[in-house]
Amino acid sequence: MTSLSITLEAVTVPLLLSLKVAGVATLVAALMGISMAWFAAKREFFGKEVLDAILTLPVVLPPTVLGYYLLVLLGRRGPIGGWLETYFGINLIFTWQGAVIAASIVAFPLVYKSARTAFEGVSRQYEDASRVLGKNEVQVFFLVTFPLAIRGILAGSMLAFARALGEFGATLMVAGSLPGKTQTLSIAVYEAVQAGHDQIANFLVVITSFVCIIVLLTSNYFLKPKYREA
């Protein structure tokens, strides 16, 4: 009985933490990714492609390298971390919020890239038509551009969620592996294997796969088009 309850807790705690971290991270990545993608797709400005390369960097860089960057920036002696510490008394290192930052940066390019492609696929003619029909730029975005790009954006966000759920390297560097605090699912698997708790590892792996399959099924459902271009 005791061994079973320990096993259950060993699974539910990292699972819920992972869902929380990945959920918030996806939200952050989606908001940032959608706005940056809109600028890249619909506005002309100097250095656009250089910015695009920088924004895509997190998928290319090894997560540990990214984690190290974050550690340097957010650490107590880092420029951002130091500022937060002195003025707000906030410390992000070894907290779940730190894990969220790591996961959202890793997941960001997945939203950004697919949202940019989706926005570029929305013909200018639809936007011009709504301008002529009396709509301002905010209305054009929410009534026309965004709804026509929503499928690509959702697809990117789903991938971003899956990526955030599986985040390991950068999260470990920034947030560590504190059980119940920052030990996410993927880190818990690693720790369980290292400690020889094969039963827990098996359980965690099955649960992770199950969650990922659900994410993919949901995204397929949302991605079914209800209309096509005439």
Partner 1 sequence: MGVDVDVQQNFRSGGHDFNLNMQFSCYEDITVLFGQSGAGKSLLLKIIAGLQEVHTGKIIINERVLFDSSKNIDVPSRYRNVGYLFQDYALFPHMTVSENIGFSKRYILSKGLKREDEERVQELLDIFQIKAFSKKYPFEISGGQRQRVGLARALLQRPDILLLDEPFSALDPLLRIQMREELKKIQSIFKIPILLITHDPQDVAELGERLVLIKQGLVSGSVDLANAPYRDSFGKPVRPEIRKILLTAAGVSSA
Measured CA distances, 21 to 47, 88, 132, 189 (Å): 33, 22, 43, 16
Question: Which one of residues 131, 177, 205, 207 is an interface residue with partner 1 (CB under 8 A)?
Answer: 131
Least separation in angstroms between residue 31's CB and partner 1 is 17
Do 22 and 160 form a contact (C-beta atoms < 8 A)?
no
Measure the CA–CA gap between 68 and 119, rounded to whole angstroms: 33
Query: Which one, 145 or 184, has the nearer CB to partner 1?
Result: 145
Query: Three-state DSSP class for 120?
Result: helix
| CB half-sphere exposure, 27, CA atoms < 13 A | 6
Among 25, 12, 170, residue whose Cα is nearest residue 4? 12
Instruction: Choose one: 44-52, 92-100, 128-136, 192-200; the region binding partner 1 (CB under 8 A).
Output: 128-136
| CB half-sphere exposure, 36, CA atoms < 13 A | 21
Of residues 142 through 181, those in contact with partner 1 by CB under 8 A are: 142-144, 147-148
Query: Which one, 122 or 189, has the nearer CB to partner 1?
Result: 122
Instruction: Choose one: 17-25, 120-128, 160-168, 171-179; the region binding partner 1 (CB under 8 A).
Output: 120-128
Element (H, E) at 83: helix 79-88
Q: How many residues interact with partner 1 (rule CB under 8 A)? A: 24
Do 65 and 106 form a contact (C-beta atoms < 8 A)?
no
Least separation in angstroms between residue 226's CB and partner 1 is 8
Question: Which one of residues 44, 125, 221, 224 is an interface residue with partner 1 (CB under 8 A)?
Answer: 125
Q: How many CB atoms lie within 10 A of CB 69?
A: 18
Question: Which one of residues 39, 73, 120, 135 is an interface residue with partner 1 (CB under 8 A)?
Answer: 135
User: Residue 224, interface with partner 1 (CB under 8 A)?
Assistant: no
Question: Which one of residues 64, 79, 128, 222 is an interface residue with partner 1 (CB under 8 A)?
Answer: 128
The binding site for partner 1 (CB under 8 A) comprises: 123, 125-126, 128-136, 138-139, 142-144, 147-148, 226-230
